[in-house]
Structure 1
Amino acid sequence: MPFMTTNPALAHALAERDYNNPTPVQLAVLAPEASGRDLLVSAQTGSGKTVAYGLVMAETLLGAEERFGYARAPQALVVAPTRELALQVQREFTWLYAATGARIVSCVGGMDPRQEQRQLEQGAHIVVGTPGRLRDHLERGRLDLSALRVAVLDEADEMLDLGFREDLEFILDATPPERRSLLFSATMPRGIATLARRYQRDALRIEVAGAEGGHADIEYRAMRIAPTEAEHAVVNVLRYYDTPTAIVFCNTREVVRRLHAMLQERQFSAVALSGELTQKERNHALQALRDGRARVCVATDVAARGIDLPNLGLVIHAELPSDAETLQHRSGRTGRAGRKGVSVLLVPPFRRRRTDDLMRGLGVTPTWSGPPTAEEIRKLDHERMLRDALITEEPGEEDASAGLALLAAYPAGHLAGALARLYRSGLPAPEEVSDPGESRTARDRSADRDFGGASGGGVWFRLNVGRRQNADPKWLLPLICRRGNATRKDIGVIRIFDEETAFEVSPAVAARFAKISRKMDGEDVMIEPLPGGPPAGGPRRPGRGAPRGKPRHDRAPYEKPFKGKKFRDEPPQDRGGEGKAGGARATPWKARETGPSGQTKGAHPPKSRRPPAAGDKPKGKRPRSS
C-alpha cells in the first residue's frame, strides 16, 4: 500500500527512496482517527517510527502546502535521548523534507554550542536535540519556543531511565499549551503515562508490534565459548557470517579498546565507539561505517539506541548485557525495516543461567551451538570464492590478454592455486576455538556422574587465599569456575584455612586446572595442585552463603603461608581488625580446634607481658590510707 495520505513533497521523497510499503506504525499514525490529535505510541526499535512522526509533523506544519515559508522561530521540536539518535533524526528529516525547503537545526551535547546559537539566530523550522543541550539553550535565551506547533519525544522511556525527567518537564513547560504532542516509546512504564497525562490532551493510544514483533526479523544464536577464547570467538563469528556491517557490543570502554585493537591487528576494518570519544570522533566512526570504509563497529551500550546503519546484518554480544531491555535494543540495531539480521550471544559456561533469564525476558528461544570452527569457515571461504564477482564476471580485453600471457608461462593448476592463495590473503585467518559444552568425551561425562563432590572422589588444588583475606565460598566458587572454565557441578569440597584454600575438582576438569596452574605470570590469585591429596582435618558445618552440602572451611591451618600479594579478583572488603589482605598480620599462635558442637576450643593467644622495670608503679587498686 503506497503512502496515499502524505504531503505531495514528502510522497515524492519517499518514492525516491523506494518507500512503497508503509510499516505498521506508519499506517497507524496516518490513519484518519489519528489526524490532528496528540499521539501516545509504543513501537519497537527499527519499526520506522522516525519517518512515521516526520509524516505526522508535516500534516500539522505544511497541511496542503508543499514548501515552508521564511524560517523564524522553530515550529517543531524533536527531543531524543542520545546524540547519535538526534543526529540520525536530523539526517532522516534532511531527505524527507528536502523538497519543502525546511531548515533543520540540531542541538546536541558534544558539539559547539556557539555554532548552534548562530544557526538558531538565522532561523529554523525544525529543531532536533538532546534534553540537556536544549534546556541550556532555553535558559540562555537562545531558543524561542513561542511559535512551536508540534513537540515530539522520541524514545521517551529511555530519556526517563537516563534521568532527564526534570529537563523534559522544563522544555515542555516552555512550549505553548495548544501545541500538538507526540510521544514515542518502546515501553510504557508509569513515568511515561504520568508525562502523557500532564502534557497531552485526549491523546490517542497506539500500540504497534507485540513482544514477538520486535524480534520477527532477528535470528537469535547463543554460542557456548571458553572464557579464555572470547576474542577468538568474535573473530570466527565475524568471518562465518561475513556481513557488510556488524556491531560487537562490550560492557566497558577498556574491553572496547582491547577488542578493537585485536580486530585491527587481524586485518578487520574496524572502528570503536564509546563514551570516551568526542562527538566529532563518534561522527567520523559512524560515517566510516556508512561509507563502507569500515565494516565492524566495536561499541559500548552508547550505540545500543538510535543508530541505524545500512546493511547491518550481525550483532555480536561479546559480553552479556545487564538486562533484557538492553539486549533488545542492542539486537534491534539489525533486522530493521523488514531486513533480516542475526544476534549472537557469546556465553561462557558460568553465564548459561544468566543467558536463559535474558532470553525468557525477551520471550525468545535462541538456537544453541558452539562457535564456528576454523574448518567450517575455510569451507565457506571456498564456496564464497567460487561465487565471487572477480571470478564469475567476464574479464575485459586487457585482463584476458594478461591471462593468456600467464597461461603461456605457467600451468593452469599453478595459476589457479595462486589465485586461491591471493583470495585468502585478503581475509583474516580463522581461530582455533573449542565448544566447552560438547568437547567432553563419554568417559569424561561418566566421570562427572560418578563424582559426587565427596572427599576422595576428585583431584585437589589450592588457592593462595585464605580466611585472613576474607575467603568465602560466595565469591570463591565463581572465581574457581571462571579460572578453570568449569561449572559448579565440577567443584566438590572447598576447605578454607587461615592462609589458603583447598578445593576438590572432578577428574574430567583436573587437567584443565593443572594447565592453568602453569600459567601464573601476571596472576595474583594462584591455583596449583595440592600434593598428597586432601588436607587433614574434618570439615566444619557450612556457614551462611556456602553451597548446600559443601563444607565452608576447616580450622586446621596449612603449612604454606599466604605471601600477602594484592589479588585482582577483589574479595569483599574486611570489616576491620587485623588480617586484611595487604594489611597488618596477626602473630601465628596455636591452632584452634572445632568441638562437637561447632564451638571453638582452646585458649586465645596469650597477651604479651614483660617483667616490671625498676620504678614502675604497681597496677591495681590504690591502698586506702588510714
Structure 2
Amino acid sequence: MTEYEGIVPALGRALDKRGYSALTQVQRAVLELEPKGADALVSAQTGSGKTVAFGLALAPSLLGGEERFGPAAAPLGLAVAPTRELALQVKRELDWLYAETGAVVASCVGGMDIRTERRALERGAHIVVGTPGRLCDHIRRHALDMGDLRAVVLDEADEMLDLGFREDLEFILDAAPAERRTLMFSATVSRTIANLAKNYQRDAVRITTAAEQKQHGDIDYRGFLVAAQERENAIINVLRYYEAKNALVFCNTRATVNHMTARFNNRGFSVVALSGELSQNERTHALQAMRDGRARVCVATDVAARGIDLPNLELVVHADLPTNAETLLHRSGRTGRAGRKGVSALIVPQNGRRRAERLLRDAKVRVEWGNPPSAEAVLLRDDERLLADPNLGEKVHEDEIDFVRRLLGEYGAEQVAAAFVRLHRGRLSAPEDLSEVAIEETGGREERKPRREDFAESVWFSLSVGRRQNAEPRWLIPLMCRAGDISKREIGSIRMQQEETFVELDAASADRFVMAIGPHATLENGIRATRLDGAPDLAPSRPYAKPHGGKPFRRDDRLGGYDKPAGKRKFADKPHGKAGASRDGDAPSAKPWAKDAKPWAKKDKKAGKPKFAKPAGAGKKKPARKPKD
C-alpha cells in the first residue's frame, strides 16, 4: 500500500496486515487532496471507508513528519461522531490503523463512566473520539485540553445536525485553535452543512464521490406488499427465507422495537434489541452478540443503529417505512459494504405503496414489487440449503464409520435420512401463511383514485335505518362491506333520511351484494336492505316556518337536515328556536342521538335553569375571632 503518495509508511503496513488490496474512491480522493493539508467537505455514502479515509488524511498533520508519536499529552486530533456506537467503532478503526505509530486513542461518549474518561485524558492521548454532548462536558470541566489540537473531524455531520447537536458542535469548534485543520464528512450536503463549513472551515475543498450520485450497486432492493394485519408474519417469512448470518430490522419507535423483539424471541429467533432506552453496556453487549454469532437478528431504531458496522450483515428489513430518502439510504447502507452483497427489504402495507414509491423515487432507487415469501417458498428454500450443506459432501471419518454402519443396519438409509430431515427442520421456526396481495402496475406515476361518483352504472338500495336511529356512514359502510362481500370502493353516494338511508352501489357489484345478504335481505342488527328500480324518489324541498316568525328555511332531503336559502344563519344543521325543532313537529332535533342522553338533568320550568343545592352554611356570618392573649 505504500505506493500511494501521501500514506504514512506505518499506516501502509497496517493496511497490508488488514488485507487491503486497493483503496476505495473516497480514500483516494482524500489522499489526492490539493493543496495538501487543506480543509475538506466530503460527501460519501455509508460503507465507503470514510473512517480509514480521514485516518489516512490526518496522519501527516498529527505526526508532523515523524514515524511514531511521542509521549501522550494533550490531544493532537479530535473525531466527533453522532452516536455512542459510531464513536466506539471509529475508535476501533483508528486503533488498528495507528497501531504501529504508538498512538493512544481515547474515547469520550455518553453512557460511560465520566470519571474513567477523565483519568484517561489526564494520562494523555494523541487522538480523542467522542460524542458532542460528552466532549462539551469535558471541555467545560477543563478535563479536555484543546490547546494543542491540530485537526478536527466531524463524522456524519448531517446526522449530528438532525439530532440537534448544532450548538454543541459550534462550542467544540470555537474551543479548538483557529489554525487547526477541519474535515467534515456527510452523506448529504444540505444548506445547514454548507453554512457550518463556511463558518468553521478555511477555503475547504469540496469532494463528491460517485457513491453520492448513485446508491451502492451491491444492495438488492425488494418491495413486499402485505395486508396491514400481516406485517409481522411477513417479516418472519422474510427472515426465514433469507436465513442471513446477520439481519437488521428497523422500526420507528422504541415501543415497536420491544414488541418485535418479544415476538421474534417467541418464534425461536436469536434476537437482540438496540434502542435509546438501553444503557451503553447493554447496547455494547447486543452488538457483540451479533458480531460473534450468538444473535442473528437485531431490532433497532434509526438513531441507535446509526453508523454501526456488522461485518456479516446480509439483510436489512424496513418494518416501518423511513421518514425520508436519506434515512432509507442510511438504513440500507448497513449492508452491501466492502464489496459484499446485501438485501434491503421494504415491508409495505397496501395503503402505503404510494408513499413508499415517493420515498424510493426521492432516493433514486428502483424496486420490483411482489408478495413476501410464502410458507411453501420458505420450506422449499430450506430444502435447497439442506442439499447444499457442505457436511453432506465430506467423507466419513474413521471414528464415525462403526456408528454409521450401526445406524444403517438397524434403521436403514431411508429411515436415517428422514430422521435427519426432521431434526434439521425442528431447529427452524415454522413459516407463516400469508394472504396473497394483488400487485398492480402503476407505471411509475401516481394515478388518481376513482371517485365514488365515477360509476358508469349504479344501483340504489334502501336501508331501514336513518338519522333518527343515529345512522352514520362511518359504521354503515363497514357493515355493508362485511355483510355484502363488497369493498368501500364499490359504494357511491349515500343519502340519509330520517327513517331510511339510500345507498348507491356499483352495478357490477349489486348482484353479489344481493346474494351475500341472502333471501331475507337483512344486514347486522336487523337492518333490512331493499333494491330499488331506479334512483330514490327524494321528497322535494319544502319550506318550514321559522319559529317565532321571520324568514322560512328549507329542509334539504339529501342531507336529512336544513339548508339556509331563506336568510343568514350561523349553523346550517341546527334550526332556530330554543327547542331545537320547528313548530310543525316533524323536524328533527339538532342532535337526535342526545334525545334521552341525560334524563336526570331536568330544568326548573319557572326559572329555566337547573336547580342546585345550596352549600351547607352558605350565607351565615362567621363569628369574630377572639384575640389571643
TM-score where L is the length of structure 2: 0.76
Match of 2:192 in 1: 191
| 452-461 or 78-87: bigger deviation | 452-461
**Which shifted more, 251-260 or 178-187?**
251-260
CA distance in 2, matches of 1:50, 1:229: 40
Q: Secondary structure at the match of 2:329?
A: helix
C-alpha displacement at 1:503, in angstroms? 8.4
* Separation (CA, whole Å) in 1 of partners of 2:16 and 2:478: 57
Task: Identify which range, 262-271 or 20-29, moves more after superposition.
Answer: 262-271
SS in 2 for 1:26: helix
- Tell me the residue number matched to 1:308: 309
SS at match of 1:219: strand
What corresponds to 1:351 in structure 2?
352
d(CA) in 2 for partners of 1:175, 1:338: 37
Counterpart residue identity of residue 174, structure 1: A
1:234 is matched with which residue? Answer: 235
Partner of 2:174: 173
Conservation of the 8 A alpha-carbon contact between 2:43 and 2:212: no
User: CA offsets per residue over residues 157-201 of structure 1, 9 Å max, x none?
Assistant: 111111111111110010011111101111111111111122111
The one-letter code of the counterpart of 2:89 is: Q
How do 1:5-154 and structure 2 match up within 5 A?
Answer: 5=5, 6-31=7-32, 33-154=34-155
**What is the 5 A alignment of 1:529-544?**
531-532=528-529
Checking the alignment, whether the CA contact within 8 Å between 2:580 and 2:589 is kept in structure 1 is no
Deviation at 1:476, TM superposition (A): 12
Contact 2:83 2:304 in 1 (8 A): no
Counterpart amino acid of residue 321 in structure 1? P
Alpha-carbon contact 2:215-2:365 (below 8 Å) kept:
no
Query: Which segment is superposed worse, 352-361 or 194-203?
Result: 194-203
Change (3 A) 1:588 1:322: farther
Structure 1: where are the runs of 5+ without partners?
A: 440-447, 516-526, 540-552, 558-586, 594-599, 614-626
Structure 1 CA distance for aligned equivalents of residues 140 and 479 of structure 2: 51
Q: Deviations over 1:344-385 (max 9, x none)?
A: 111111101101100110111111111101111111111111
In the other structure, the counterpart of 1:203 is 204
* CA offset digits 1:509-539 (Å, max 9, x no partner): 9999xx9xxxxxxxxxxx9996536999979
- Whole-angstrom distance in 2 between the partners of 1:528 and 1:461: 12
Per-residue deviation at 1:214? Answer: 2.8
CA 1:93 to 1:510, structure 2 compared with 1: closer, same or farther past 3 Å?
A: farther
In 1, the alpha carbon distance for the partners of 2:139 and 2:437 equals 57
Residue 20 of structure 1 aligns to a residue in which SS? coil
- Partner in structure 1 of residue 394 of structure 2: 393
The answer on whether the counterparts of 2:105 and 2:125 sit within 8 Å (CA) in structure 1 is yes
Does structure 1 retain, via aligned residues, the 8 Å contact 2:29–2:207?
yes
Alpha carbons of structure 1 residues 16 and 468: separation in structure 2 relative to 1, 3 Å: farther
Q: Distance in 1 between matches of 2:511 and 2:17?
A: 64
- TM-superposition CA deviations, 1:205-241 (whole Å, max 9, x none): 1111255533322111111111111111111111111
Shift of 1:455: 10
Say whether the 8 Å CA contact 2:48–2:338 is kept in structure 1.
yes
Report the Cα distance in structure 2 between the residues aligned to 1:185 and 1:83, rounded to whole angstroms: 17
* Aligned counterpart, 1:376: 377
Distance 2:511 2:278 in 1: 44
Corresponding residue for residue 294 of structure 2 = 293
CA distance in 1, matches of 2:113, 2:501: 57
Q: What do residues 108-161 of structure 1 show as CA deviations (whole Å, max 9, x unaligned)?
A: 111111111111111111111111111111111111110001100011111111
- Over 3 Å counting, the alpha-carbon distance change for 1:609 and 1:90 in structure 2 is closer
2:271 is equivalent to residue 274 of structure 1 = no
Percent of paired sites with the same residue:
53
Return the letter of the residue paired with 1:128: V
- Matched residues in 2 for 1:205 and 1:476: separation? 61
Shift in CA distance, 496/243, structure 1 to aligned 2, threshold 3 Å: farther
- Checking the alignment, whether the CA contact within 8 Å between 2:271 and 2:296 is kept in structure 1 is yes
Tell me if the contact between 1:151 and 1:179 (Cα under 8 Å) persists in the aligned partners: yes
Q: Structure 2: how far apart are the matches of 1:215 and 1:485?
A: 46
**Could you tell me how far apart the structure 2 residues matched to 1:100 and 1:37 are?**
23
Quick one: which amino acid aligns to residue 284 of structure 1? Answer: H
Structure 1 counterpart SS, 2:215: helix
Larger Rg: 1 or 2? 2
CA distance in 2, matches of 1:389, 1:479: 57
C-alpha change, 1:391 and 1:33, in structure 2 (3 Å) is same
CA distance 1:3–1:324, change in 2 (3 Å): farther
- Contact between 1:45 and 1:329, CA under 8 Å: does it hold in 2? yes
Q: Over aligned residue pairs, what C-alpha RMSD do you find? A: 4.5
Whichever residue aligns with residue 4 of structure 1, its letter is Y
Distance across 2 between alignment mates of 1:461 and 1:60: 83
Summarize the Cα distance change of 1:129–1:611 in structure 2 as closer, same or farther, 3 Å threshold.
closer
1:451–1:458 contact (8 Å) kept in structure 2: no
Cα distance change of structure 1 residues 529 and 105 upon mapping to structure 2, 3 Å threshold: farther
Separation of aligned partners in 2, 1:461 and 1:247: 51
Task: Note the C-alpha offset of 1:480.
Answer: 12
Identify the residue that residue 444 of structure 2 maps to in structure 1. none
Paired residue secondary structure (1:215): coil
